[in-house]
Chains A and B, each alone.
Chain A
Amino acid sequence: MAFTLYSLLQAALLCVNAIAVLHEERFLKNIGWGTDQGIGGFGEEPGIKSQLMNLIRSVRTVMRVPLIIVNSIAIILLLLFG
């Protein structure tokens, strides 16, 4: 029952890191989730798969620099305080 806000923060950081390390060429293209394979024009409803691909691409673009900062802070704090 030790599900605290701090562990939620840790889990969120790990998830965002996981999304950020997905490689565009080696991995996403091979499973058909590349950024140039998705957009189906201005049709009616973007399906769940294209929404997911959009989300992954946006997270990777937006969080690249903040992740560097937050990861460095986390590394320093964990080294100092265990």
Chain B
Amino acid sequence: MHPAGAAAAGTLRQRKWPSKRRVPVSQPGMADPHQLFDDTSSAQSRGYGAQRAPGGLGYPTASASPQAAFLGDPVSNMAMAYGSSLAAQGKELVDKNIDRFIPVTKLKYYFAVDTVYVGKKLGLLFFPYLHQDWEVQYQQDTPVAPRFDVNAPDLYIPAMAFITYVLVAGLALGTQDRFSPDLLGLQASSALAWLTLEVLAILLSLYLVTVNTDLTTIDLVAFLGYKYVGMIGGVLMGLLFGKMGYYLVLGWCCVSIFVFMIRTLRLKILAEAAAEGIPVRGARNQLRMYLTMAVAAAQPLLMYWLTFHLVR
């Protein structure tokens, strides 16, 4: 498995992903396409196994101290084995039940990113005007992991951007002598509350307009979290260059996020109309278009509302 895995990983990194919609699966040299992360377990376990063996052998002969004699005792060996099996059972139980409350396997998809994807996505968030193809590639009816398609939503950038926003807000407040530690928590709570409100409002409107989309709640959280990147840019420029810099950069980021959201949501909400590429004049489609525009227009408003008090 190890040489085959290394060869497959090598080909995966060197090969450019094909640009058609359906990715061909039947290629013997490629790693399993359903795999989200590279498999390094064989290398790891081999290394740990080699390390553990001499350590285990060295135990009874290493020192003649009472501790070594105590641990070499067969009864405490059995106790250690029983304790480790108990821990393994507990871990199994937690793993089985955690999937009921937090959809861990679904979340893993959103964190399957790599540096190239993050770089391209950040470029897309600041400059979405030249990007042509916004459709997410599919592979046997499941969307491709974000590291293989720059159009797929991910949760890594929104999560990191949120945390960075809270820290940058603390920094901005500190430069104006308005900082106190509980304000950090207040900023974080406020931003989260606005995000939750946005998600609930959009879910309600999607329900009322009876749109049949495959836009899941986590997708929505991911798309709505992309505005934190623009907010960080605006506040940092405001710290460096004053109000003028803040307004310029924030204005640019607002327009970019507006265009980005419209182009992304158009494919999800207005699926049939967008496939043809022409604006359709039905009453239903008009309502959906209004909904997309409203969601996209709310982004710049929230970006301004959450940052203007940080730049003086």
Binding site for B on A (CB under 8 A): 1-8, 45-46, 48, 51-52, 55
- Of B196, B209, B210, B284, most buried by chain A (CB within 10 Å of CB) is B210
B196 pairs with A8, CB closer than 8 A: yes
- Nearest CB in chain B: distance from A71 CB, A: 21
Cα distance, A80 to B11, chains bound together (Å) = 65
- Nearest CB in chain B: distance from A42 CB, A: 14
B208 pairs with A48, CB closer than 8 A: yes
A1 pairs with B208, CB closer than 8 A: no
Q: Which residue of A lies closest to B209 (CB)?
A: A48
Residue count of chain B within 8 Å CB distance of chain A = 14
- For residue B186, which residues in chain A have a CB less than 8 angstroms away from its CB? 1-2, 4
B189 pairs with A5, CB closer than 8 A: yes
Say what secondary structure dominates the interface of chain A: helix
Binding site for A on B (CB under 8 A): 186, 189-190, 192-194, 196-197, 207-210, 284, 309
- For residue A7, which residues in chain B have a CB less than 8 angstroms away from its CB? 193
- Given contacts A45-B210, A48-B209, whether A3 and B309 have CB atoms under 8 Å apart is no
Q: Which residue of A lies closest to B194 (CB)?
A: A3
- For residue A6, which residues in chain B have a CB less than 8 angstroms away from its CB? 189
- Nearest CB in chain B: distance from A37 CB, A: 18
Cα distance, A48 to B192, chains bound together (Å) = 29
- For residue A48, which residues in chain B have a CB less than 8 angstroms away from its CB? 208-209
- Nearest CB in chain B: distance from A49 CB, A: 9
- For residue A2, which residues in chain B have a CB less than 8 angstroms away from its CB? 186, 190
- For residue B309, which residues in chain A have a CB less than 8 angstroms away from its CB? 1
A7-B193, A48-B208 known, 16 other contacts, Cβ within 8 Å:
A1-B186, A2-B186, A3-B190, A3-B193, A3-B194, A4-B186, A4-B193, A5-B189, A5-B193, A8-B197, A45-B210, A45-B284, A46-B210, A51-B207, A51-B210, A55-B208
Cα distance, A5 to B186, chains bound together (Å) = 9
Q: Which residue of B lies closest to A48 (CB)?
A: B208
Cα distance, A2 to B190, chains bound together (Å) = 7
Cα distance, A5 to B208, chains bound together (Å) = 25
- For residue A55, which residues in chain B have a CB less than 8 angstroms away from its CB? 207-208
Q: Which residue of B lies closest to A49 (CB)?
A: B208
- Of A1, A7, A55, most buried by chain B (CB within 10 Å of CB) is A1
Q: Which of B193, B207, B208, B284 contacts A8 (CB 8 A)?
A: B193
Q: Which residue of B lies closest to A51 (CB)?
A: B208
Q: Which residue of B lies closest to A7 (CB)?
A: B193
Cα distance, A46 to B209, chains bound together (Å) = 9
B284 pairs with A1, CB closer than 8 A: no
- For residue B210, which residues in chain A have a CB less than 8 angstroms away from its CB? 45-46, 51
- Nearest CB in chain A: distance from B24 CB, A: 39
- For residue B194, which residues in chain A have a CB less than 8 angstroms away from its CB? 3
- For residue B284, which residues in chain A have a CB less than 8 angstroms away from its CB? 45
- For residue A1, which residues in chain B have a CB less than 8 angstroms away from its CB? 186, 190, 309
- For residue B193, which residues in chain A have a CB less than 8 angstroms away from its CB? 3-5, 7-8
Cα distance, A7 to B190, chains bound together (Å) = 10
- Nearest CB in chain A: distance from B85 CB, A: 41
Cα distance, A7 to B189, chains bound together (Å) = 10
Q: Which residue of A lies closest to B196 (CB)?
A: A8
Q: Which of A5, A45, A46, A52 contacts B192 (CB 8 A)?
A: A5
- For residue A45, which residues in chain B have a CB less than 8 angstroms away from its CB? 210, 284
Cα distance, A3 to B190, chains bound together (Å) = 5
- For residue B190, which residues in chain A have a CB less than 8 angstroms away from its CB? 1-4
- Nearest CB in chain A: distance from B210 CB, A: 6
- For residue A51, which residues in chain B have a CB less than 8 angstroms away from its CB? 207-208, 210
Q: What are the nearest 9 A-B pairs in CB distance?
A: A4-B189, A8-B193, A5-B193, A51-B208, A5-B189, A3-B190, A48-B208, A3-B193, A4-B193
